[in-house]
Amino acid sequence: MKKRSCLWAMLALLLGLLSFAACTEQGGEEPAPLEGTYVFESLSYEGDDGTAITLRAGDNWLLSALTEDTFTFELREDGTATFTVRLVLTLTFDLLWERSGTDGYIDITLDGATETFPCDGETISYAVSGETIGAPFGEVSVTMKKK
């Protein structure tokens, strides 16, 4: 059961990370530059069955060593972005990004679907639950940091 929960958590992680990007600093200050590369920092999973785990860059998960470069998100000045997953295979997704109309948020577009995510200017955090995507698992929270 735990292996199955971990697999669902990984699926949620991948879906959530597809939507990551950078953001502005909160408050009345000048917006932080968004362009740059963001790397994996940590993942927390809490299953409906009570299973809980936190993984950080440097930890091992299943047969993979998780490094900062396992998941990367590159934002470019022209509004394009690339999200890359390096596990057993390398997957690359091309996205579009822009500052959201709400301070401290950014909009990410993949295949015509746009989602808005919060961040603090240096890290991006995202949480997804099984209820959100219609899958039978608990909640996954992911944090990426600017390199």
The C-alpha atoms of residue 132 and residue 59 are separated, in whole angstroms, by: 27
CATH of the domain at 64: 2.40.128
Task: Band the pLDDT of 29: cuts 50, 70, 90.
Answer: low
Helices (H) and strands (E) in the chain, counts: 2, 11
Task: Band the pLDDT of 84: cuts 50, 70, 90.
Answer: very high
Q: Which of 140, 142, 141, 99 is nearest to 121 (CA)?
A: 99
Which comes out higher in pLDDT, residue 30 or 72? 72
Total-model pTM: 0.71
CA distances from 125 to 78, 106, 112, 140 (A): 23, 12, 22, 11
How many domains does the chain contain in total? Answer: 1
- Phi then psi dihedrals of residue 97, to 5 deg: -145, 155
pLDDT of 91-137, one tens digit each?
999 999 998 888 888 888 989 999 887 767 787 777 787 765 556 67
pLDDT at 9 over 50: no
| Mean pLDDT score of the chain | 78
pLDDT of 37-61, one tens digit each?
999 999 999 988 888 999 999 999 8
Question: Which residue segment(s) compose the domain that 95 sits in?
Answer: 2-146
pLDDT of residue 132: 59
